[in-house]
Amino acid sequence: MKTKLTEMLEIDHPIIQGGMMHVGLAELASAVSNAGGLGILTALTQPTPEALRQEIGRCREMTNKPFGVNVTLLPTINPVPYDEYIQVIIDSGVKVVETAGRSPEKYIPALKEAGVHVIHKCTSVRHSLKAEQIGCSAVSVDGFECAGHPGEDDVPNMVLLPCAGSKLTIPMVASGGIGDGRGLAAALALGAEGVNMGTRFVATKEAPVHENVKKMMVESSELDTALIFRTLRNTARIYKNNIAKQVLEIEGKPGDTEFGELQPLVAGTRGRERVLVAGDTDDGVWTAGLVMGLIDDIPSCEELLSRMVRDAEEIMGKRLASMLVTG
């Protein structure tokens, strides 16, 4: 497939692996890139900028194809040396950065000067237009279906994508609820130049997570997610397990929710150590999107991307074309 996104990023297929904490490591990113998509390393999964430099080097040993780095800009208790992470990305010659959270405006001049394309993740039309205004090369538009933080507008991609696409002049990437060729074809029809997938890539052979997590995704449906932090105006979509139910019970109590009461349950280290590493899918927070309803196997990244592109081409070239009446 040839789109504005594939030409910009110099990739074969218009499919990006989104940045995911503790998942966006060299093993997965290189596999996606080798399969013709764009793999993404997650900067803040690495404890220091120097560790990120080493991870970029490790990824280069596994692929000679383009890959990017995700930098999520969020307020934290302990200050994050974002300037140093950005400098490592520039010095390492990475040419694609996926940003999320706060505006990347501060870093755009240095990144653009180094020839780096910035793709900012947005959950609304207004944020997408702002990203275009500050100089982003593309936007990744996140619908309500997505895992992680869907924003507070609750607009699904069937509406959000054409709304954003009708106003943007830079390429738009569809993110959230996409896991097969049907989703890829639909996203392109709605105005996107490609897709971004997170949850679907977790259920692949190369994803560096416990096999129990992958199997649970196969066994689960589109009904097995929960929205937490609604009371804090920081909504997050996660897998609906015992921890999620405890969080929702606390948030359901009368009065204001105190984050301190939730923190032991939702701590990132707990989710990483107990779920992603140890494989106890019920004893920590882990993000998952509605697309779980479309996951019924654990393929390699090569198998997944080849199948998606083949199925999308079949849908666009034959099924939809057969519905056209001429004459």
CATH code (residue 63):
3.20.20.70
Q: pTM for this structure?
A: 0.96
Q: Is residue 160 part of a domain?
A: yes
* One domain, residues 251 and 110: no
DSSP class of 222: T
Confidence at residue 58, expressed as pLDDT on a 0 to 100 scale: 98
Q: Is residue 173 part of a domain?
A: yes
| Cα 112 from Cα 296, distance rounded (Å) | 40
| Cα 84 from Cα 61, distance rounded (Å) | 23
* One domain, residues 189 and 90: yes
* One domain, residues 264 and 119: no
* One domain, residues 137 and 201: yes
Mean pLDDT, residues 190-215 taken together: 98
| Cα 147 from Cα 233, distance rounded (Å) | 16
* pLDDT band, very low/low/confident/very high, at 74 (cuts 50, 70, 90): confident
* One domain, residues 181 and 155: yes
Percent of the chain with pLDDT over 90: 94
Q: Is residue 159 part of a domain?
A: yes
- Render 247-263 in DSSP notation, one character per residue: HHHHHTSSSPPPHHHHH
* One domain, residues 52 and 157: yes
Per the structure, the complete domain to which residue 58 belongs is given by: 4-207
Q: Is residue 218 part of a domain?
A: no
Characterize the bridge pairing of strands 225-228 and 236-239. antiparallel
| Cα 173 from Cα 119, distance rounded (Å) | 9
Mean pLDDT of the chain: 96
CA proximity to 238, closest of 276, 190, 211: 276
Confidence at residue 321, expressed as pLDDT on a 0 to 100 scale: 84
CA proximity to 42, closest of 5, 73, 87, 76: 73
Mean pLDDT, residues 268-284 taken together: 96
Q: Which of 168-177, 188-197, 287-296, 313-322 has the lowest mean pLDDT?
A: 313-322
- Select from 157, 173, 207 the last residue of a domain: 207
* One domain, residues 236 and 93: no
* One domain, residues 193 and 234: no
Maximum separation of any 2 CA atoms in the chain, in Å: 67
Whether the pLDDT of residue 144 is over 80: the answer is yes
Q: Which residues contact 186 (CB under 8 A, 6 or more apart)?
A: none
Percent of the chain with pLDDT over 70: 100
Q: Is residue 153 part of a domain?
A: yes
| Cα 65 from Cα 296, distance rounded (Å) | 28
Q: Are 173 and 141 in contact (CB under 8 A)?
A: yes
Whether the pLDDT of residue 327 is over 80: the answer is no
* One domain, residues 69 and 136: yes
Q: Is residue 58 part of a domain?
A: yes
172-175 sheet: strands from edge to edge: 15-17, 194-197, 172-175, 138-142, 117-122, 96-101, 67-73, 39-42
Q: Is residue 152 part of a domain?
A: yes
How many domains would you assign to the chain?
A: 2
Indicate the helix (H) or strand (E) that contains 228.
strand 225-228
Mean pLDDT, residues 250-275 taken together: 93
* One domain, residues 141 and 232: no
Integer CA distances (angstroms), 34 to 10, 60, 235, 300, in order: 13, 11, 34, 11
User: Could you tell me the end-to-end alpha-carbon distance of the chain, in angstroms, rounded to an integer?
Assistant: 29
Position 51, amino acid: A
Position 295, amino acid: I
Q: Is residue 324 part of a domain?
A: no
